[in-house]
């Protein structure tokens, strides 16, 4: 008998044999690869170490892969703090959060930060707009990743006016600019300058 005619019959018999043993034949090839790993930038559960401190819930932007991703944090602000002072306290707390290394869970998920330690925040000078935040280092002198993290974190917080932008300046006679956090900046922080416009100040 022709071998081509025997093959279908043999396959049918094999299928019946497997079914009789309680095993269903597989029609789709199975890939026995390695165990699946955690999806990058996805925390499997809330980081209790980071969220244990009581305070005002905020978000900071960390780098994960090639994009900025928001993660939850808390900051403490004394009750009854005036708005102007509150803005600076929140801004400094957010900067401090950005300068700290990510938690163990965040590191495992691929999060990093590029904001340098020791960065300080001050409020506006007499001739600056009321919502100005002056950094101890000129914004233009920061690495692109760091500047993107700072702009997106501050512009999306109580330290700014809530319109997706923040007015930043540096020490001395450094000029002021209003920076915006855009979708393009969040997706390409290492190659994109934050959109900005010059702001009058003194």
At residue 97, the pLDDT reads 95
pLDDT in tens, 12-30: 544 444 444 443 433 334 3
Which sign does the torsion angle of CA 125, 131, 133, 139 carry?
negative
Sign of the CA dihedral running 144, 51, 72, 76: negative
**SS3 of 58, please?**
strand
pLDDT digits (tens, 9 = 90+) for 63-88: 998 899 999 998 888 887 788 888 99
Above 80 in pLDDT, residue 6? no
Report field, pTM of the whole predicted structure over 0.85: no
DSSP code at position 78 = -
d(CA 152, CA 159): 11
> At residue 32, does pLDDT exceed 50?
no
């Amino acid at each position: 008998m022709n071998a081509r005619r025997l093959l279908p019959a043999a396959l049918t018999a094999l299928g019946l044999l497997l079914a009789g043993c309680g095993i269903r034949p597989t029609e789709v090839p199975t890939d026995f690869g390695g165990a699946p790993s955690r999806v990058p930038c996805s925390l499997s559960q809330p980081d209790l170490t980071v969220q244990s401190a009581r305070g005002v819930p905020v978000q900071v932007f960390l780098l994960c892969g090639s994009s900025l991703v928001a993660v939850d944090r808390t900051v403490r602000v004394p009750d009854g703090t005036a708005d102007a002072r509150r803005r600076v306290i929140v801004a400094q707390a957010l900067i401090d959060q950005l300068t700290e290394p990510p938690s163990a869970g965040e590191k495992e998920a691929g999060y990093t930060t590029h904001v340098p330690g020791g960065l300080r925040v001050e409020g506006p000078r007499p001739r600056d707009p009321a919502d100005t935040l002056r950094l101890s280092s000129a914004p233009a002198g920061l690495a692109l990743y760091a500047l993107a993290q700072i702009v997106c974190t501050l512009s999306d917080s109580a330290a700014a006016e809530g319109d997706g932008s923040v007015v930043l300046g540096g020490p001395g006679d450094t000029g002021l600019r209003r920076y915006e956090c855009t979708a393009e900046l969040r997706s390409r922080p290492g190659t994109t300058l934050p959109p900005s416009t010059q702001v009058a100040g003194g």
